[in-house]
Amino acid sequence: MPSVSTATRAAKAADHDRKCLLCEHRCGVNRSAGELGRCKAGTEARVFRHRVEYGEEPQLVPSHLVYLSGCDLRCAFCIAEEKAFDPRIGTLLDAPFLQQAIVWGRERGARNLQWVGGEPTIHIPAILRALSGCRDTPPIVWKSDFHATPEALELLRGVVDIHVADFKFGNDTCAERIAGVPRYVEIVERNLLLARESADLIVRHLLLPGHFECCFLPVARWLAEHLPEIPFSIRDGYLPRWQARHHADLADPLPADIGPLARREAALLGLNVVG
Percent with pLDDT over 70 in the chain: 99
How deeply is 50 buried, as exposed, middle or buried, from its count of CB atoms within 10 A (0-12, 13-18, 19+)?
A: buried
62 cis-preceded (ω within 30 degrees of 0): yes
Averaged pLDDT for residues 22-47: 97
pLDDT of residue 81: 80
**Which pTM was predicted?**
0.95
Domains belonging to the chain, first-starting first, are 4-273 (3.20.20.70)
Q: Per residue in 72-84, pLDDT tens?
A: 999 999 988 888 8
pLDDT at residue 275 greater than cutoff 90 = no
Averaged pLDDT for residues 121-135: 97
pLDDT of residue 3: 47
| Euclidean distance between CA atoms 262 and 250, whole angstroms | 18
pLDDT at residue 58 greater than cutoff 60 = yes
User: Residue 213's CB: how many other CB atoms inside 10 A?
Assistant: 9
Averaged pLDDT for residues 47-68: 97
Averaged pLDDT for residues 181-198: 97
Averaged pLDDT for residues 22-38: 97
| Euclidean distance between CA atoms 74 and 77, whole angstroms | 9
Please state the φ and ψ torsions of residue 38, each to the nearest 5 degrees: -60, -35
- Return mean pLDDT, the chain: 95
Q: How confident is the model at residue 102 (pLDDT cuts 50, 70, 90)?
A: very high
For 202, residues 6+ apart whose C-beta sits below 8 A from its C-beta are 57, 59, 60, 162, 163, 164, 165, 230, 231, 232, 233, 274
pLDDT at residue 2 greater than cutoff 60 = no
